[in-house]
Amino acid sequence: MAKKWTHRLRKWVTTRMDLPEDVMMDLPRVTMVGQLHIYIENHKGLLTFTDSELRLLLKQGQLLIKGDSFVIKTILPEELLLEGKIEEVLYLNE
């Protein structure tokens, strides 16, 4: 019950204060430039990294990125810039 109320309060504050929803709702922001770059903000940690797969923990679920020749260009506590040939971006609700 408290979780529903908190969600409604965040939604109301977002609407009234004209704040970006991803900031108030603690959602990830994913920005892609073609198939070459992907920038993810507001993740909760790196779970897996190989040259063909990256998996990030989110507040709710995980983000799985598949492709080829992956290189992490920037990694900060809640931000990551990945380069390579991106073939799939999947949200896993686990």
pLDDT tens digits, the chain, 94 residues: what are they? 666 666 676 666 666 666 555 555 578 999 999 999 999 999 999 999 999 999 999 999 999 999 999 999 999 999 999 999 999 999 999 7
Report long-range pairs for 69-78 (Cβ below 8 Å, ≥24 apart).
75/46, 78/41, 78/42, 78/43, 78/44
Contact predicate 68/92, CB 8 Å: no
The pLDDT value given to residue 16: 66
| Sequential DSSP letters for the chain | -HHHHHHHHHHHHHHHHT--HHHHTT--EEEEETTTEEEEES--EEEEE-SSEEEEE-SSSEEEEEEEEEEEEEEETTEEEEEEEEEEEEEE--
- What are the residue ranges spanned by the domains of the chain? 26-92
Could you please state the CATH topology (level 3) that the domain comprising 26-92 is classified under. Immunoglobulin-like (2.60.40)
